[in-house]
């Protein structure tokens, strides 16, 4: 692994797969569980981010996500988000962004080719049927929780829940197929994989870097701290994404839409 300066990646004619994690959103002021030792109001993450937690106390879970919805609307995309959106406009279909973040900041910055592998804070789905997830910005902080009209029309009853991939749940197979297809596409073209604002040591970062390298990708890690598997990356740039990405992606001076 080479610890490098901010020399721009040679992206002309190349393909670029980017994976972003909580570090990118944290630079916009969004708190993470890690900031509070994995606790929220003294509740463990599993209490508010698992099917079992929702079954046990749906009011608590909806309170947590309602407050997160409110918080996400008070912050703005940072220069890292803008740089990623700018390089997408430059590369077009040779670009794909995979984000572990659920706050929608990438889309607000102008990103369009986005796979939200952990879901979206601003979508809701049914806990009991396959109702298509729908856009939802409402806060459910009272005693009345949202229920599924479709289930009720069929004579049943089910609560709606945030469209988030919780602990113990599988990632969307369609998302995984789309990522795999992008990695394998156009093998004769230079290919770069970047993990940004994530340790790179756990799934999906660990799996993606190995998968991308298997087809010849140059792997780059951008993070505030070194990762356990940093040796799997060809380059490591230590720093905040908002500070290093504009130069690294060659889009300094570009603004998001």
Active-site residues: which are they?
118
Question: Please, is 57 exposed, middle or buried when counting C-beta atoms within 10 Å of its C-beta (0-12, 13-18, 19+)?
Answer: middle
User: Does residue 204 have a cis bond before it (omega within 30 degrees)?
Assistant: yes
Cα dihedral 179/182/187/191 (nearest 10): -80
Q: How far are the Cα atoms of 40, 41, 184 from residue 37, in angstroms, in the given order? A: 9, 11, 38
Cα–Cα–Cα angle for 115, 223, 80, rounded to 5 degrees: 60
With beta carbons less than 8 A apart as the criterion, state whether 219 and 213 touch. Answer: yes
Which residue is it, tokens 């077009």? 92
Cα dihedral 42/45/48/53 (nearest 10): -100
Measuring CA to CA, which residue among 80, 73, 69 is closest to residue 164?
A: 69
Q: How far apart are CA 156 and CA 70, in angstroms?
A: 31
With beta carbons less than 8 A apart as the criterion, state whether 8 and 20 touch. Answer: no
Query: Tokens standing for 203?
Result: 């799934």
């Amino acid at each position: 692994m080479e610890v490098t300066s901010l020399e721009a990646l040679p992206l002309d004619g190349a393909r670029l797969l980017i994976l972003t994690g909580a570090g990118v959103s944290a630079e916009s002021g969004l708190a993470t569980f890690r900031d509070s030792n994995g606790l929220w109001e003294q509740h463990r993450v599993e209490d508010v981010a698992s099917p079992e937690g929702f079954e046990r106390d749906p009011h608590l879970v909806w309170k947590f996500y309602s407050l997160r919805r409110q918080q996400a609307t008070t912050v703005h995309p940072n220069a890292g988000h803008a740089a990623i959106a700018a390089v997408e406009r430059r590369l077009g279909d040779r670009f794909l962004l995979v984000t572990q973040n659920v706050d929608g900041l990438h889309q607000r910055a102008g990103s369009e080719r986005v796979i939200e592998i952990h879901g979206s804070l601003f979508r809701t789905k049914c806990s009991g049927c396959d109702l298509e997830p729908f856009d939802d910005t409402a806060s459910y902080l009272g005693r009345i929780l949202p229920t599924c009209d479709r289930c009720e029309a069929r004579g049943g009853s089910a609560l709606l829940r945030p469209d988030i991939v919780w602990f113990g749940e599988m990632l969307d197979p369609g998302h995984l197929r789309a990522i795999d297809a992008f990695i394998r596409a156009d093998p004769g073209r230079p290919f770069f994989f970047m993990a940004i604002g994530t340790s790179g040591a756990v799934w999906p970062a660990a799996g993606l870097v190995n998968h991308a390298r298997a087809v010849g990708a140059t792997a780059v890690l951008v993070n505030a701290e070194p990762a356990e598997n940093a040796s799997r990356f060809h380059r490591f740039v230590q720093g905040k994404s908002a500070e290093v990405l504009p130069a690294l992606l060659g889009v300094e001076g570009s603004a998001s839409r």
